[in-house]
């Protein structure tokens, strides 16, 4: 069993999709990452911040899944980070309606002593200075530091983002962001440019079109499972990252072959996440369902071809 340190938002989300809308429900990158990673044999801890308005029931959901929340700061009198968004009809584009940073505005992450030697560190989408602060608090170099980010930080904190990217092993990013970060349209060329910034591995997330893993000259592709119903894409990328990081922390194997498996596990868990609003599907998820869907992934992608 490995240690996984997770940094990211714990939040309230309000979501509107063509299929319905929610009031404030449990959300945040670290939440989705933690729930996905808890499917593996890991000791994980979340470094984050919430306000006094954050319900005990949500904290219990995390501790019930063996997630250490001793470094989840609860700010007295503070309000939890709130995001409200609306998806268009095709679910591929969304509009942010409200972003209330609240307690996140003055967040100083403190890594718990027990996790300063974590094998895997998953830096969820956040201000790059917070991500860097976490790296600086570590006692030893983790086996893998994985960083997720988005276009907002490229637009507003370019230098800080470049600085933290120097220190990581794996960058996870979506296709449009990879193009923005590198000014390369070809994802193959984009990955090569990102190697030059620091990371040895690049994961490019393409949403319903799957995910690509790049390492040196090697490329691996995992599709998204074609689904009859996609209900709410919120948290799918974080669930992917959590499955990826959780699998890597649980296994003591740094080979490319094992990274491929981590991508499949991440894609598999993300395929559940989108089936209901927010964290709902992840909270009801059973081991047998995960296993059955891994079988579906194999059927979807595996073939045998003669190479004369």
Q: Is 71 in contact with 46 (CB distance < 8 Å)?
A: yes
Q: In which element (H, E) is residue 153 found? A: helix 151-156
Count other C-beta atoms under 10 Å from residue 149's C-beta.
25
Q: Is 65 in the site for its own copies (CB under 8 A)?
A: no
- Would you say 147 or 262 has its CB closer to its own copies? 262
Residue 4 structure tokens: 């996984």
3-state secondary structure (DSSP) of residue 103: helix
Query: Which parts of 157-283 are beta strand (E)?
Result: 170-174, 201-205, 211-215, 218-222
- Would you say 20 or 226 has its CB closer to its own copies? 226
Q: Is 162 in contact with 138 (CB distance < 8 Å)?
A: no
**Which residues, including other chains, have CB under 8 Å from residue 305's CB and lie 6 or more apart?**
none
Q: Is 198 in the site for its own copies (CB under 8 A)?
A: no
Q: Is 23 in the site for its own copies (CB under 8 A)?
A: no
Contact letters (x/-) for its own copies, 263-282, by CB under 8 A?
Answer: -xx-----------------
Q: Which stretch binds its own copies (CB under 8 A): 2-10, 119-127, 162-170, 253-261?
A: 253-261
**Phi, psi at 88, each rounded to 5°:** -75, 175
Q: Is 187 in the site for its own copies (CB under 8 A)?
A: yes
Q: Is 295 in the site for its own copies (CB under 8 A)?
A: yes
Q: Is 186 in the site for its own copies (CB under 8 A)?
A: yes
Instruction: Please pick, from the candidates 77, 159, 196, 303, the single residue that binds its own copies as defined by CB under 8 A.
Output: 303
Closest separation between CB of residue 288 and its own copies, Å?
11
Q: Is 166 in the site for its own copies (CB under 8 A)?
A: no
Closest separation between CB of residue 218 and its own copies, Å?
7
Q: What does the radius of gyration of the chain's CA atoms come to, in whole angstroms?
A: 18
C-alpha–C-alpha distance, residues 52 and 37, integer Å: 26
Count other C-beta atoms under 10 Å from residue 288's C-beta.
8
Q: Is 30 in the site for its own copies (CB under 8 A)?
A: no
- Would you say 114 or 221 has its CB closer to its own copies? 221
**Which residues, including other chains, have CB under 8 Å from residue 244's CB and lie 6 or more apart?**
146, 172, 203, 262, 263, 265, 266
Q: Alpha carbon 78 to chain centroid distance?
A: 25
Closest separation between CB of residue 2 and its own copies, Å?
17
- Would you say 67 or 222 has its CB closer to its own copies? 222
Q: Which stretch binds its own copies (CB under 8 A): 26-34, 114-122, 186-194, 234-242?
A: 186-194
Contact letters (x/-) for its own copies, 205-244, by CB under 8 A?
Answer: -x--xx-x-----xxxx-x--xxxxx--------------
Chain residues binding its own copies by CB under 8 A are: 89-90, 185-189, 206, 209-210, 212, 218-221, 223, 226-230, 257, 260-261, 264-265, 291, 294-295, 297-305, 307-308
């Amino acid at each position: 069993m490995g240690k996984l340190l997770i940094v990211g938002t714990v939040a309230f989300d309000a979501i509107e999709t063509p299929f319905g809308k929610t009031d404030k429900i449990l959300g945040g990158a670290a939440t989705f990452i933690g729930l996905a990673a808890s499917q593996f044999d890991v000791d994980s801890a979340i470094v984050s911040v919430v306000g006094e308005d954050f319900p005990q029931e949500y904290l219990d959901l995390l501790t019930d899944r063996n997630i250490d929340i001793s470094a989840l700061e609860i700010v007295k009198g503070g309000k939890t980070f709130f995001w409200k968004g609306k998806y268009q009809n095709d679910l591929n584009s969304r509009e942010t309606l409200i972003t209330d940073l609240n307690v996140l505005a003055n967040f100083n992450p403190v890594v718990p002593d027990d996790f300063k030697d974590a094998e895997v560190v998953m830096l969820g989408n956040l201000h790059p200075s917070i991500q860097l602060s976490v790296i600086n608090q570590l006692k030893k170099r983790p086996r893998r530091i994985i960083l997720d980010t988005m276009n907002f930080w490229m637009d507003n904190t370019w230098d800080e983002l470049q600085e933290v990217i120097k220190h990581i092993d794996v960058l996870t990013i979506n296709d449009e962001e990879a193009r923005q970060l590198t000014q390369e349209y070809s994802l193959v060329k984009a990955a090569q440019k990102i190697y030059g910034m620091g990371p040895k591995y690049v994961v490019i997330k393409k949403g319903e079109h799957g995910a690509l893993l790049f390492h040196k000259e090697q490329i691996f592709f995992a599709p998204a499972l074609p689904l009859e119903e996609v209900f709410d894409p919120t948290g799918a990328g974080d669930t992917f990252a959590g499955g990826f990081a959780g699998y890597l922390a649980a296994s003591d194997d740094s080979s490319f072959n094992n990274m491929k498996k981590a991508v499949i596990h991440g894609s598999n868990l993300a395929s559940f996440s989108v089936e209901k609003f927010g964290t709902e599907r992840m909270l009801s998820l059973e081991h047998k369902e995960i296993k059955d869907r891994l079988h579906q992934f194999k059927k979807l992608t595996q073939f045998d071809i003669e190479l004369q």
